[in-house]
């Protein structure tokens, strides 16, 4: 059976981040020939392209969604199509004062993980992103195969 192409959608307006991810994938293009990277610079086009995606990387501050809270609220809609990883430039502690991004994004809106852009400055940070992508993809496959109750706590 021929290998399927997996589409990874990056909804991100910062070119540097997109180039960093794209560069990593290009560097390993031989190994990752079955993965197609797609890029949407704003939330509206991201929502359009999400239907074909198998994994979505979402920036919280986008040109058409400056309020990170508003972007967070779109996660449930996005994750019906594919698992969502949140990538943000905001530090966890100053957002918002009572609840941090990780707790809000993961527990309340259903993101698979929250990663910080400052992490992307090191090769280890890129490894985190790649491994989080891997974990999110496998978990989605597991849930689809065995049902959501398979990972429900108790």
Residues found near another protein in the complex (CB under 8 A): 3-8, 27-28, 31-35, 54-55, 82, 102-103, 106-107, 112-115, 123, 127-128, 130-142, 144-145, 151-154
Here the tokens at position 110 are 């259903």
Nearest-approach distance from CB 85 to another protein, in angstroms: 9
Nearer to another protein (CB atom), residue 61 or residue 125: 125
Nearer to another protein (CB atom), residue 20 or residue 135: 135
Question: Helix and strand tally (H, E) in the chain?
Answer: 6, 5
Chain mean position to CA 116: 11
Nearest-approach distance from CB 82 to another protein, in angstroms: 7
Nearest-approach distance from CB 64 to another protein, in angstroms: 26
Nearest-approach distance from CB 63 to another protein, in angstroms: 26
Nearer to another protein (CB atom), residue 31 or residue 98: 31
Which residues, 6 or more positions from 43, have their beta carbon under 8 angstroms from its beta carbon? 11, 62, 64, 65, 71, 74
b/e burial code for range 55-82 (CB count within 10 A of at least 16 → b): bbbbbbbbeebeebeebbebbeebbebb
Cα 84–90–95 angle (5° rounding)? 95
Here the tokens at position 48 are 């359009």
Nearest-approach distance from CB 15 to another protein, in angstroms: 23
Nearer to another protein (CB atom), residue 65 or residue 116: 116
Nearer to another protein (CB atom), residue 95 or residue 128: 128
């Amino acid at each position: 059976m021929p290998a399927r192409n997996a589409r990874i959608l990056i909804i991100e307006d910062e070119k540097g981040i997109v180039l960093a991810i794209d560069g990593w994938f290009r560097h390993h293009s031989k190994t990752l020939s079955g993965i197609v990277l797609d890029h949407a610079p704003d939330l509206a086009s991201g929502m359009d392209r999400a239907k074909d995606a198998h994994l979505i990387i979402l920036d919280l501050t986008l040109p058409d969604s400056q309020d990170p809270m508003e972007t967070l609220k779109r996660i449930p809609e996005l994750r019906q199509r594919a698992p969502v990883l949140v990538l943000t430039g905001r530090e966890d502690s100053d957002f918002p004062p009572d609840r941090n991004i990780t707790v809000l994004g993961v527990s309340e809106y259903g993101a698979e993980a929250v990663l910080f852009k400052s992490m992307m400055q090191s090769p280890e940070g890129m490894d985190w992103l790649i491994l989080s992508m891997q974990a999110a993809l496998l978990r989605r496959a597991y849930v689809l195969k065995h049902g959501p109750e398979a990972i429900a706590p108790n």
